[in-house]
């Protein structure tokens, strides 16, 4: 089925677009009353994520409200360690928790790439969402990065200081490398199976890469993101499958991410998009990375006129995207620098999406 809106996929591949495509991390989420209603029916977050009909319903909800240019699978970054048997749950109003943690030699020895049948609910959701989208916009699949998964597997949940996972990393790097190698192979298999099920792009969320020290980031996060990328399918059903890597807090390491085997780099709001473009965006006709990001989600608490002003600033910091339809060049996919807050007024999201589309069309007219 032909895509009615291919702006996102074109931008991923550094092809010229009519406007700057936009989607929002966690766009199907608690800030939407219709999401809360579906979640109430499902009973719990995992009840929602594991039910194909509910997952499909909430994935499409933001598309009915806003002129978004992509959909993203409704799921969690931690489904893979859950399938490894660690027992993921979400208490009401709290972050993820694992029943079992991985902190010693025995727990590490017991880890293995999980049977993908345990994640069948995810692949079924991908197929169902893709069908329900009916070509409106492309569907993005995703996973947590090997390091980010390891943070939760060792800590057992969120953390302020990453003390336990870093203690293991600094005390027993051999164990940490084993966890990360298994995670990388599991994530690659997981993303490839999402691609086979219908995902048209995939994103690796390295949400906690930025908490690592220089040196440790390269050895314990980036190396395993590379290991994932090396195993990913480049295309499926005759279409190229773009791969997005997002390291929150990773701006300092952008020069080292320039040669990652992926199409798009995601950025948080601390990074200037113009600087990022100079570092990794490439020239018209030459190689480079598409850039995705990076407005502070807290801008959505300001009045709509202020939101538009800040959207213009972010678009202008990237500058004029290339407009030559005969070749590739620097492109920008608009997004937040982190997931949208549950407290966001839903009508403010319209202001953001519309400002992106309007101003980016003006930019293209010079």
Give min distance, CB of 74 to a second copy, in A: 21
Closer residue to a second copy in complex, CB, 150/188: 150
Give min distance, CB of 241 to a second copy, in A: 31
Closer residue to a second copy in complex, CB, 99/170: 170
Give min distance, CB of 310 to a second copy, in A: 7
Q: Could you confirm whether 261 is annotated as catalytic? A: no
Closer residue to a second copy in complex, CB, 54/334: 334
Catalytic residue selected from 69, 76, 82, 268: 76
Q: Could you confirm whether 39 is annotated as catalytic? A: yes
Span between the terminal Cα atoms of the chain, in Å:
34
Catalytic residue selected from 35, 152, 190, 224: 152
Catalytic residue selected from 14, 39, 130, 277: 39
Q: Could you confirm whether 277 is annotated as catalytic? A: no
Give min distance, CB of 356 to a second copy, in A: 16
Q: What does the H/E/C string look like for the chain?
A: CCCCCCHHHHHHCCECCCCCCECCCCCCCCCCHHHHHHHHHHCCHHHHHCCHHHHHHHHHHHHHHCCCCCEECCCCCCHHHHHHHHCEEECCCCCEEECCCCCCHHHHHCCCCCCHHHHHHHHHHHHHHHHHHCCCCCEEEEEECHHHHHHHHHHCECCCCCHHHHHHHHHCHHHHHHHHHHHHHHHHHHHHHHHHHCCCEEEEEECCHHHCCCCHHHHHHHHHHHHHHHHCCCEECCEECCEEEEECCCHHHHHHHCCCCCCEEECCCCCCHHHHHHHHHCCCCCCCCEEEEEECHHHHHCCHHHHHHHHHHHHHHHCCCCCCCCCECCCEEEEECCCCCCCCCHHHHHHHHHHHHHHHHHHHCC
Residues at the contact surface with a second copy, assessed by CB under 8 A: 161-163, 166-167, 170-171, 210, 212-217, 249, 251-252, 269-272, 295-296, 298-299, 301-303, 306, 310, 313, 317, 337, 341, 343
Longest dimension (CA), the chain: 61
Give min distance, CB of 93 to a second copy, in A: 13
Closer residue to a second copy in complex, CB, 166/322: 166
Give min distance, CB of 122 to a second copy, in A: 27
Please give the positions annotated as active site.
26, 30, 39, 76, 152
């Amino acid at each position: 089925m032909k895509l009615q809106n291919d702006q996102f996929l074109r931008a991923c591949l550094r092809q010229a677009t009519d406007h700057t495509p936009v989607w929002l991390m966690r766009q199907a989420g608690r800030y939407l009353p219709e999401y809360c209603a579906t979640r109430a029916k499902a009973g719990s977050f995992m009840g929602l994520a594991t039910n194909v009909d509910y997952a499909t319903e909430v994935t499409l909800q933001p598309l009915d409200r806003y002129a978004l240019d992509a959909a993203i699978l409704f799921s969690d970054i931690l489904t893979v360690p859950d399938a490894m048997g660690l027992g993921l749950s979400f208490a009401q109003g709290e972050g993820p928790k694992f029943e079992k943690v991985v902190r010693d030699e025995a727990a590490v020895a017991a880890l293995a790439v999980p049977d993908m049948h345990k994640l069948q609910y995810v692949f079924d959701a991908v197929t169902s969402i893709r069908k329900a989208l009916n070509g409106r916009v492309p569907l993005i699949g995703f996973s947590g990065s090997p390091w980010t998964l390891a943070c939760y597997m060792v800590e057992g949940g969120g953390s302020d200081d990453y003390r336990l996972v870093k203690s293991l990393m600094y005390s027993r790097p051999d164990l940490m490398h084993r966890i990360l190698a298994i995670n990388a192979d599991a994530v690659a298999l997981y993303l490839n199976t999402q691609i086979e099920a219908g995902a048209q792009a995939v994103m690796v969320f390295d949400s906690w890469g930025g908490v690592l020290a220089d040196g440790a980031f390269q050895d314990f996060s980036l190396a395993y993101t590379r290991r994932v990328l090396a195993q990913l399918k480049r295309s499926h059903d005759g279409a190229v499958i773009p791969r997005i890597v997002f390291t929150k807090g990773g701006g300092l390491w952008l020069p080292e991410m320039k040669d990652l085997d992926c199409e798009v780099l995601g950025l948080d709001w601390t990074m200037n998009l113009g600087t990022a473009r100079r570092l990794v965006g490439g020239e018209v006709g030459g190689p480079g990375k598409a850039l995705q990001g990076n407005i502070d989600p807290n801008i959505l608490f300001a009045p709509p006129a202020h939101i538009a002003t800040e959207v213009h600033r972010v678009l202008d910091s990237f500058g004029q995207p290339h407009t030559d339809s005969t070749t590739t060049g620097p492109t920008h996919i608009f997004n937040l620098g982190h997931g949208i807050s549950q407290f966001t007024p839903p009508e403010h999201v319209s202001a953001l999406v519309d400002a992106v589309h309007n101003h980016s069309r003006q930019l293209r007219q010079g």
